[in-house]
């Protein structure tokens, strides 16, 4: 039986992915801060005949992530799949940016992923085997109005994961970047912006798990949003500014 660790597995995409992987025969370690949610889910998975472990851990704390990974390794042995999924972001105009909020988003979304990578790297390198995954976002394909810091954190993840994919292949380590569009989770429930082609977290988990089984370099979904974002990435700045600027005016409003 193969072993996976997933951060941000108390709700949303991480929770659904943990359930999906368990259904596919994986042993799953669920990491997040809310212990009671993790314990409930582990009890549910165990009662259904799966093997699961709850890990209370803040991904912003490198030591805590190292300790969580060590606990999985001590309990079950080496980790085959590590998914850096924990993340957050609230739509906010850049004129209202608070430096402390921006630092926090970068710490959880970007450094949180590096903390997990740093913790699983020694064993994966030693075994010349393993799969490292980062859940970034289609919002990282270009800087999007109202999502400046969030887009930046996801673009940082994408750049790191791309470099890692190339560098780590000769070491036997597979790297996958997951870029969701809108998925219905507590994160998207919190904001009122329009969410075209939004899908359920359960459906998203099936798409992600399929992509991981195929060792895909990238898992981009849903198709219409992924295609639109790919096209947006190809636009020259003048055209991008015009097209996206129209939407931005509506979202951000006139200068105060
Ligand atoms: N939903 C979407 O439309 C969408 C689209 C693109 C990308 N994404 C990305 O998908 C990932 C999952 O998001 P989601 O939509 O499933 O949101 P969610 O339901 O709010 O889940 C976020 C998860 O991250 C955990 N988390 C937050 N801060 C943490 C911290 N400091 N340490 C450890 N865990 C932490 C939360 O658990 P605790 O609060 O218990 O710690 C929760 O389990 C995020 O990286 C998000 O950026 C989501």
Q: Tell me the pTM.
A: 0.97
Rounded to a whole number of angstroms, the CA Rg of the chain reads 18
> Which DSSP symbol is given to 2?
-
Q: What is the mean pLDDT of the chain?
A: 96
> Which DSSP symbol is given to 129?
-
Q: Is the minimum distance from the CB of 180 to ligand 1 under 6 angstroms?
A: yes
Distance in angstroms (rounded) separating the CA atoms of residues 10 and 12:
7
Element containing residue 178 per DSSP (H, E): strand 173-180
Q: How confident is the model at residue 211 (pLDDT cuts 50, 70, 90)?
A: very high
pLDDT at 254 over 70: no
SS3 of 173-233: the string is: EEEEEEEECCEECHHHHCCCCCCCCCEEHHHHHHHHHHHHHCCCCEEEECHHHHHHHHHHH
Q: Is the minimum distance from the CB of 208 to ligand 1 under 6 angstroms?
A: no
Nearest residue by C-alpha to atom 14 in ligand 1: 12
Distance in angstroms (rounded) separating the CA atoms of residues 226 and 54:
33
Nearest residue by C-alpha to atom 45 in ligand 1: 87
Number of domain units in the chain? 1
Distance in angstroms (rounded) separating the CA atoms of residues 34 and 37:
6
Ligand 1 centroid distance, CA of 51 (Å): 23
Ligand 1 centroid distance, CA of 90 (Å): 12
Distance in angstroms (rounded) separating the CA atoms of residues 21 and 15:
10
Active-site residue set: 150
Q: What pLDDT, on a 0 to 100 scale, did the predictor assign at position 251?
A: 64
Tens-place pLDDT, residues 66-100? 999 999 999 999 999 999 999 999 899 999 999 99
- What proportion of the chain, given as a percentage, has pLDDT over 70? 97
Tens-place pLDDT, residues 41-74? 999 999 999 999 999 999 999 999 999 999 999 9
Ligand 1 centroid distance, CA of 25 (Å): 24
Q: What pLDDT, on a 0 to 100 scale, did the predictor assign at position 193?
A: 83
Reported as half-sphere exposure (CB side, CA atoms, 13 A), residue 187 has a value of: 25
Q: Is the minimum distance from the CB of 134 to ligand 1 under 6 angstroms?
A: no
Ligand 1 probe mutation, 28, 134, 187, most atoms within 8 A of CB: 187
Ligand 1 probe mutation, 28, 31, 32, most atoms within 8 A of CB: 32
Q: Is the minimum distance from the CB of 32 to ligand 1 under 6 angstroms?
A: yes
Tens-place pLDDT, residues 5-16? 999 999 999 999
Q: Is the minimum distance from the CB of 110 to ligand 1 under 6 angstroms?
A: no
The pair of three-digit structure tokens given for residue 155, joined into one six-digit string: 């673009």
Ligand 1 centroid distance, CA of 218 (Å): 19
Q: Is the minimum distance from the CB of 38 to ligand 1 under 6 angstroms?
A: no
The pair of three-digit structure tokens given for residue 55, joined into one six-digit string: 């890990």
Q: What pLDDT, on a 0 to 100 scale, did the predictor assign at position 148?
A: 96
Residue whose pair of structure tokens reads 């898992």 in the numeric block:
219
| CATH number for 10 | 3.40.50.720
pLDDT at 252 over 90: no
Ligand 1 centroid distance, CA of 213 (Å): 22
Tens-place pLDDT, residues 189-205? 988 888 999 999 999 99
Tens-place pLDDT, residues 116-130? 999 999 999 999 999
Using alpha carbons, list the distances in angstroms from residue 23 to 28, 51, 54, 163.
Answer: 10, 10, 17, 31
Query: What is the domain range of residue 136?
Result: 3-252
Q: Is the minimum distance from the CB of 137 to ligand 1 under 6 angstroms?
A: yes
Q: Is the minimum distance from the CB of 7 to ligand 1 under 6 angstroms?
A: yes
Beta bridge partners of 184: 200
Contact of 149 with 170, CB cutoff 8 Å: no
């Amino acid at each position: 039986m193969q072993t996976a660790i997933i951060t941000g597995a108390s709700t949303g995409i991480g929770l659904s992915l943990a359930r999906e992987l368990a259904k596919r025969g994986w042993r799953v370690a669920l990491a997040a801060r809310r212990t009671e949610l993790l314990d409930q889910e582990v009890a549910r998975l165990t009662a259904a005949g799966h093997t699961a472990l709850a890990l209370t851990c803040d991904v912003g704390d490198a030591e805590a992530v190292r300790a969580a990974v060590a606990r999985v390794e001590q309990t079950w042995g080496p980790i085959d799949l590590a998914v850096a999924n924990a993340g957050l972001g609230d739509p906010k105009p850049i004129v209202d940016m608070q430096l402390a909020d921006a630092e926090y988003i970068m710490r959880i979304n970007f450094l949180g992923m590096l903390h997990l990578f740093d913790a699983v790297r020694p064993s994966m390198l030693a075994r010349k085997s393993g799969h490292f995954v980062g859940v970034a976002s289609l919002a990282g394909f270009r800087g999007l109005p109202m999502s400046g810091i969030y887009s930046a954190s996801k673009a940082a993840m994408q750049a790191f994961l791309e470099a890692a994919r190339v560098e780590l292949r000769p070491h036997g380590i597979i790297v996958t970047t997951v870029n969701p569009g809108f998925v219905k989770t507590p994160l998207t429930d919190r904001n009122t912006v329009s969410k075209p082609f939004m899908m359920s977290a359960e459906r998203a988990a099936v798409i992600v798990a399929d992509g991981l089984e195929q060792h895909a370099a990238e898992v981009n979904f849903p198709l219409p949003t992924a295609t639109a974002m790919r096209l947006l990435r190809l636009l020259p700045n003048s055209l991008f500014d015009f097209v996206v600027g129209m939407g931005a005016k509506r979202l951000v409003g006139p200068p105060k």
